[in-house]
A and B are shown apart, each in its own frame.
Chain A
Amino acid sequence: MSPGAGGGGHTRRGVVRSHTVITPGGEEPGPAQPDVDVATLLSADTTTPREGLRVQARRVMALLEPGVLSVADVAAYLDMPVGVVRALVADLVRTGHIRTAEPFVPLAQPHEREFLERVLHGLQRL
């Protein structure tokens, strides 16, 4: 149980390790596995049929019906651990029920400075 012991060989287990829902069997997901950050913004795709979704997935979809929330918001509002929500959302992204927008990180792309300037000006006005 010591942190950083390296068992499993991946680095993302910190938040999710206390829960059993993610990556059953400890199997590393393939590259198609969506990476769902705690600050990822989620919106429901209302055109995808919801038949067959389990109760917890339905709760997430119902919460997202009126608008966009982050993974963290969903976890807090539904009183569910972040690790559980991340796993549920990853599944719902794969099945086309949820669209995601990852948190902004600078990647030397055009318009990044513009975005950061907006963040800065917004903070200065607080």
Chain B
Amino acid sequence: MASSASDRRYLPLGARSVKIVVLGAFGVGKTTYVATISEMRPLRTEERLTRAGQFVDDLTVDTKSTTTVAMDFGRRTLGGDIVVYLFGAPGQPRFADMIRSLLHGALGGLVLVDTRRVDESYESIGLLEEADLPYVVAVNTFPGAPAYPEDVLRDALSLPCDRPLVFLDARFVKSAKRALIALVTDILHPAGSHAP
């Protein structure tokens, strides 16, 4: 849906953008995450993907009546002239081409994980590994979802030990921002450069 003119927020000349891609399975909280971080109503760009009817088949968890068909994006301006763009995209194999294109030029990625469906995160992690991008795995702590210790989750995800893993609640900015902080910290101070 097109926005009204009053929604439009212009950036200053000389602003610099940063692109961060939020991947994860359907219903894992990508849309919520993007909305929580974004300073304005998140927008959705419609990409007419083929076989859209198949999306319904993926909705096996809870009852989510709408789903992310294309990319949700939001943005957050930091210090006036830095603008972080967050793009939420489904990490399913059939979208791999779209994701690869989206990962090009990104600072890094987040993989949102629901502990009830850890296995659905493999594809997202694989795409980020393949793109050789820094990334962080963020467990979105749903009420009622099993809480596993970090080492168990790392094992289940086959997560390399140098990749940060954080726990957060995608609904709250103070919690959600942890994944972004972990990502930028990791880029500034890679785990391998310190004593473990």
Q: For the complex, is B188 an interface residue (Cβ under 8 Å from A)?
A: yes
- Contact among B45, B101, B185 with A120 in the assembled complex (CB-CB below 8 Å): B185
- Tally of contact residues, A, Cβ under 8 A: 53
Flag B118-155 by CB within 8 Å of A: 1 or 0 each: 00000000000000000000000000000000000000
Chain B residues with Cβ below 8 Å from A104 are 16-18, 107
- The answer to whether the Cβ of B157 comes within 8 Å of any Cβ in the partner chain is no
In the complex, the chain B residue whose C-beta lies closest to that of A106 is: B187
Contact A105 B105 (CB under 8 A): yes
What is the total number of residues of chain B having a CB less than 8 Å from a CB of chain A?
57
Interface string of A18-58 (1 = CB under 8 A from B): 11000000000000000001111101000000000000000
In the complex, which residues 68-117 of chain B have their Cβ closer than 8 Å to any Cβ of chain A? Answer: 71, 73, 75-76, 78-79, 82-85, 87, 93-102, 104-107
**Chain A residues, Cβ within 8 Å of B50:** 1, 18
Assess whether A101 is in contact with B105, with CB atoms less than 8 Å apart: no
Say whether A110 faces chain B, with CB atoms less than 8 Å apart: no
Whether B85 lies near A70 (C-beta < 8 A) is yes
B1-25 vs A, CB cutoff 8 Å, 1 = contact: the mask equals 1110001101111011111000000
| Cβ of A9 under 8 Å from chain B | no
Candidate in A38, A68, A125 with the most chain B CB atoms within 10 angstroms: A38
Is the beta-carbon distance between B184 and A119 smaller than 8 angstroms? yes
Secondary structure at chain A's binding surface: helix, strand, loop or mixed? Answer: mixed
- Minimal Cβ-Cβ distance residue in B for A117: B188
- Residues of chain B with a CB closer than 8 A to A103's CB: 16-19, 85, 105-107
Q: Is the CB of B82 within 8 A of A118?
A: yes
Residue of B nearest to A5 (CB): B97
Task: Please name all residues of chain B whose beta carbon is closer than 8 Å to the beta carbon of A73 when the two chains form the complex.
Answer: 8, 43, 75
CB distance from A20 to the nearest CB of B (A): 11
B78-A119 in contact (CB<8A)? yes
Q: Are A43 and B184 in contact (CB under 8 A)?
A: no
- Closest B-chain residue to A72, C-beta based? B73
CB distance from B87 to the nearest CB of A (A): 7
Question: Are A118 and B78 also in contact (CB < 8 A) when A79-B2, A82-B45 are?
Answer: yes
Interface code A101-126, partner B: CB below 8 Å = 1, 0 otherwise? 11111100000010111111111111
Q: Can you list 5 A-B contacts (CB < 8 A)?
A: A1-B50, A18-B50, A38-B87, A41-B83, A103-B17
